[in-house]
Amino acid sequence: MANVDAGPARALLRAPAGRRQPTARQRALLADLETLFLAEGFAHFTLDELAGRMRCSKSTLYALAPSKEQLAVKVVSHYFKGAAEQIEARIAGFDDPRELIGEYLAGVAEYLNRASTTFMADIAGFEPARATYQRNSRAAAGRIRSFIAKGVADGAFRDVHASLIAEMAGLLIEGIQTGVIASRTGVSDAEAFTALSELLLDGLAARQRLR
Protein backbone atom coordinates (compact mmCIF):
# COMPACT_ATOMS: atom_id res chain seq x y z
CA MET A 1 0.00 0.00 0.00
CA ALA A 2 1.49 3.30 -1.03
CA ASN A 3 2.57 5.89 1.54
CA VAL A 4 0.98 4.17 4.54
CA ASP A 5 2.99 2.44 7.23
CA ALA A 6 1.58 -1.03 7.92
CA GLY A 7 4.00 -1.70 10.77
CA PRO A 8 1.47 -2.03 13.64
CA ALA A 9 -0.66 -4.51 11.74
CA ARG A 10 2.21 -6.51 10.29
CA ALA A 11 3.91 -6.75 13.66
CA LEU A 12 1.00 -8.86 14.88
CA LEU A 13 1.42 -11.27 12.00
CA ARG A 14 5.07 -12.17 12.58
CA ALA A 15 5.54 -15.52 14.31
CA PRO A 16 8.06 -15.59 17.18
CA ALA A 17 11.46 -16.90 16.18
CA GLY A 18 11.82 -20.63 16.60
CA ARG A 19 8.10 -21.39 16.63
CA ARG A 20 7.32 -24.52 14.61
CA GLN A 21 5.09 -23.83 11.66
CA PRO A 22 1.87 -25.90 11.44
CA THR A 23 1.63 -28.72 8.95
CA ALA A 24 -0.82 -28.65 6.06
CA ARG A 25 -3.11 -30.98 8.02
CA GLN A 26 -2.95 -28.70 11.06
CA ARG A 27 -3.71 -25.63 8.96
CA ALA A 28 -6.75 -27.38 7.52
CA LEU A 29 -7.85 -28.41 11.00
CA LEU A 30 -7.47 -24.85 12.28
CA ALA A 31 -9.60 -23.60 9.40
CA ASP A 32 -12.29 -26.17 10.19
CA LEU A 33 -12.22 -25.30 13.89
CA GLU A 34 -12.47 -21.62 13.01
CA THR A 35 -15.58 -22.29 10.92
CA LEU A 36 -17.13 -24.28 13.76
CA PHE A 37 -16.29 -21.72 16.44
CA LEU A 38 -17.53 -18.81 14.35
CA ALA A 39 -20.89 -20.52 13.93
CA GLU A 40 -21.36 -22.06 17.39
CA GLY A 41 -18.86 -20.48 19.78
CA PHE A 42 -16.30 -22.47 21.73
CA ALA A 43 -16.92 -22.21 25.47
CA HIS A 44 -19.41 -25.09 25.68
CA PHE A 45 -17.34 -27.64 23.77
CA THR A 46 -15.25 -30.35 25.43
CA LEU A 47 -12.17 -31.74 23.71
CA ASP A 48 -14.00 -35.01 23.18
CA GLU A 49 -16.82 -33.17 21.44
CA LEU A 50 -14.40 -31.20 19.30
CA ALA A 51 -12.55 -34.36 18.30
CA GLY A 52 -15.88 -35.89 17.31
CA ARG A 53 -16.94 -32.89 15.27
CA MET A 54 -13.55 -32.69 13.55
CA ARG A 55 -13.43 -36.49 13.06
CA CYS A 56 -9.96 -36.64 14.52
CA SER A 57 -8.32 -37.96 17.68
CA LYS A 58 -7.80 -35.91 20.82
CA SER A 59 -4.07 -36.37 20.32
CA THR A 60 -4.42 -34.52 17.01
CA LEU A 61 -6.00 -31.61 18.86
CA TYR A 62 -3.33 -31.80 21.56
CA ALA A 63 -0.73 -31.42 18.82
CA LEU A 64 -2.28 -28.02 18.12
CA ALA A 65 -2.56 -26.95 21.77
CA PRO A 66 -2.12 -28.67 25.15
CA SER A 67 -5.59 -27.76 26.47
CA LYS A 68 -9.06 -26.78 25.29
CA GLU A 69 -8.51 -23.25 26.57
CA GLN A 70 -5.26 -22.85 24.68
CA LEU A 71 -6.86 -24.38 21.60
CA ALA A 72 -9.60 -21.74 21.78
CA VAL A 73 -7.00 -18.98 21.96
CA LYS A 74 -5.13 -20.49 19.01
CA VAL A 75 -8.26 -20.60 16.87
CA VAL A 76 -9.28 -17.07 17.86
CA SER A 77 -5.76 -15.85 17.01
CA HIS A 78 -5.98 -17.69 13.68
CA TYR A 79 -9.25 -15.91 12.92
CA PHE A 80 -7.94 -12.43 13.65
CA LYS A 81 -4.63 -13.04 11.92
CA GLY A 82 -6.55 -14.06 8.81
CA ALA A 83 -8.71 -10.96 9.15
CA ALA A 84 -5.67 -8.69 9.38
CA GLU A 85 -4.04 -10.27 6.34
CA GLN A 86 -7.16 -10.10 4.20
CA ILE A 87 -8.01 -6.53 5.18
CA GLU A 88 -4.46 -5.37 4.46
CA ALA A 89 -4.66 -7.08 1.06
CA ARG A 90 -8.01 -5.38 0.46
CA ILE A 91 -6.59 -1.89 0.91
CA ALA A 92 -3.23 -2.51 -0.78
CA GLY A 93 -4.27 -0.81 -4.02
CA PHE A 94 -5.66 2.34 -2.40
CA ASP A 95 -3.86 5.61 -1.75
CA ASP A 96 -6.73 8.06 -1.12
CA PRO A 97 -7.11 8.29 2.68
CA ARG A 98 -10.90 8.47 2.45
CA GLU A 99 -10.94 5.23 0.47
CA LEU A 100 -8.42 3.69 2.87
CA ILE A 101 -10.63 4.39 5.89
CA GLY A 102 -13.79 3.31 4.11
CA GLU A 103 -12.33 0.10 2.74
CA TYR A 104 -10.47 -0.77 5.93
CA LEU A 105 -13.50 -0.45 8.20
CA ALA A 106 -15.74 -2.11 5.59
CA GLY A 107 -13.31 -5.03 5.66
CA VAL A 108 -13.43 -5.17 9.44
CA ALA A 109 -17.23 -5.09 9.39
CA GLU A 110 -17.47 -7.82 6.75
CA TYR A 111 -15.04 -10.07 8.60
CA LEU A 112 -16.89 -9.64 11.89
CA ASN A 113 -20.15 -10.43 10.11
CA ARG A 114 -18.82 -13.99 9.81
CA ALA A 115 -18.86 -14.33 13.59
CA SER A 116 -21.95 -15.41 15.50
CA THR A 117 -23.06 -13.58 18.63
CA THR A 118 -22.14 -16.74 20.57
CA PHE A 119 -18.57 -16.60 19.31
CA MET A 120 -18.20 -12.92 20.21
CA ALA A 121 -19.78 -13.53 23.63
CA ASP A 122 -17.36 -16.40 24.28
CA ILE A 123 -14.45 -14.12 23.40
CA ALA A 124 -15.74 -11.45 25.76
CA GLY A 125 -16.13 -14.00 28.54
CA PHE A 126 -12.69 -15.61 28.22
CA GLU A 127 -9.83 -13.28 29.15
CA PRO A 128 -7.04 -14.83 27.01
CA ALA A 129 -9.25 -14.73 23.90
CA ARG A 130 -10.43 -11.24 24.82
CA ALA A 131 -6.79 -10.13 25.06
CA THR A 132 -6.25 -11.33 21.49
CA TYR A 133 -9.23 -9.27 20.33
CA GLN A 134 -7.90 -6.27 22.24
CA ARG A 135 -4.48 -6.51 20.58
CA ASN A 136 -6.10 -6.57 17.17
CA SER A 137 -8.38 -3.68 18.08
CA ARG A 138 -5.37 -1.62 19.16
CA ALA A 139 -3.68 -2.43 15.86
CA ALA A 140 -6.83 -1.35 13.99
CA ALA A 141 -6.90 1.91 15.93
CA GLY A 142 -3.26 2.48 14.96
CA ARG A 143 -4.09 1.94 11.30
CA ILE A 144 -6.94 4.45 11.50
CA ARG A 145 -4.61 7.00 13.08
CA SER A 146 -2.13 6.52 10.23
CA PHE A 147 -4.89 7.01 7.63
CA ILE A 148 -6.05 10.21 9.33
CA ALA A 149 -2.50 11.55 9.50
CA LYS A 150 -2.07 10.82 5.79
CA GLY A 151 -5.36 12.54 4.99
CA VAL A 152 -4.35 15.66 6.87
CA ALA A 153 -0.94 15.71 5.18
CA ASP A 154 -2.55 15.25 1.75
CA GLY A 155 -5.16 17.95 2.37
CA ALA A 156 -8.05 15.49 2.06
CA PHE A 157 -8.99 15.93 5.73
CA ARG A 158 -9.22 19.14 7.67
CA ASP A 159 -6.54 19.33 10.33
CA VAL A 160 -8.69 20.82 13.09
CA HIS A 161 -8.66 18.31 15.96
CA ALA A 162 -7.56 15.54 13.61
CA SER A 163 -5.34 13.97 16.29
CA LEU A 164 -8.20 14.17 18.78
CA ILE A 165 -10.55 12.47 16.31
CA ALA A 166 -7.99 9.71 15.87
CA GLU A 167 -7.90 9.14 19.63
CA MET A 168 -11.71 9.17 19.79
CA ALA A 169 -11.81 6.60 16.99
CA GLY A 170 -9.47 4.43 19.05
CA LEU A 171 -11.77 4.70 22.06
CA LEU A 172 -14.77 3.79 19.92
CA ILE A 173 -12.93 0.74 18.60
CA GLU A 174 -12.16 -0.26 22.19
CA GLY A 175 -15.84 0.27 23.07
CA ILE A 176 -16.88 -1.98 20.20
CA GLN A 177 -14.32 -4.59 21.24
CA THR A 178 -15.34 -4.65 24.90
CA GLY A 179 -19.03 -5.00 24.05
CA VAL A 180 -19.97 -1.65 25.56
CA ILE A 181 -21.32 -0.30 22.26
CA ALA A 182 -23.33 -3.44 21.56
CA SER A 183 -24.81 -3.55 25.08
CA ARG A 184 -25.87 0.09 24.97
CA THR A 185 -27.13 0.27 21.40
CA GLY A 186 -28.10 -3.27 20.45
CA VAL A 187 -26.06 -3.16 17.22
CA SER A 188 -23.55 -5.77 16.13
CA ASP A 189 -19.80 -5.09 16.04
CA ALA A 190 -19.96 -5.13 12.25
CA GLU A 191 -22.72 -2.49 12.22
CA ALA A 192 -20.75 -0.41 14.71
CA PHE A 193 -17.66 -0.42 12.49
CA THR A 194 -19.78 0.64 9.51
CA ALA A 195 -21.20 3.54 11.54
CA LEU A 196 -17.70 4.48 12.69
CA SER A 197 -16.56 4.68 9.07
CA GLU A 198 -19.43 7.00 8.18
CA LEU A 199 -18.78 9.15 11.24
CA LEU A 200 -15.08 9.52 10.48
CA LEU A 201 -15.48 10.26 6.79
CA ASP A 202 -18.20 12.87 7.37
CA GLY A 203 -16.40 14.45 10.31
CA LEU A 204 -12.96 14.69 8.71
CA ALA A 205 -13.99 15.82 5.24
CA ALA A 206 -12.26 19.01 4.13
CA ARG A 207 -14.96 21.63 3.65
CA GLN A 208 -14.68 24.34 1.04
CA ARG A 209 -15.20 27.88 2.25
CA LEU A 210 -18.34 29.64 1.06
CA ARG A 211 -17.63 32.49 -1.34
Tell me the three state secondary structure of residue 205.
strand
DSSP string, 79-145: HHHHHHHHHHHHHTT---HHHHHHHHHHHHHHHHTTS-HHHHHHHHHSHHHHHHHHHHHHHHHHHHH
Residue 111 is assigned to a structural domain of this protein:
yes
pLDDT digits (tens, 9 = 90+) for 16-34: 444 567 789 999 999 999 9
Tell me the pLDDT tens digit for each residue of 97-142.
999 999 998 888 888 888 888 998 899 899 999 999 888 888 888 8
Q: Is residue 48 part of a domain?
A: no
Total number of domains in the chain: 1
Comparing 59-68, 115-124, 195-204, the range with the smallest average pLDDT is: 195-204
Residue range(s) defining the domain that contains residue 130: 73-204
Global pTM exceeds 0.85: no
Asked whether residue 34 is domain-assigned, the answer is no
**Is residue 134 assigned to a domain?**
yes
Assigned domain for 2 exists: no
Q: Count CB-CB contacts under 10 A for residue 103.
A: 19
- Residues 152 and 163: their CA atoms lie apart, in Å, by 10
In a domain, 46, yes or no: no
Average pLDDT over residues 152-156: 87
* Residues above pLDDT 70, as percent of the chain: 86
* Cα–Cα distance measured from residue 206 to residue 149, given in angstroms and rounded to the nearest whole number: 13
Helix (H, G, I), strand (E, B) or coil at 157: strand
* Residue 57 is assigned to a structural domain of this protein: no
28 located within any domain: no
Q: CATH code at 162?
A: 1.10.357.10
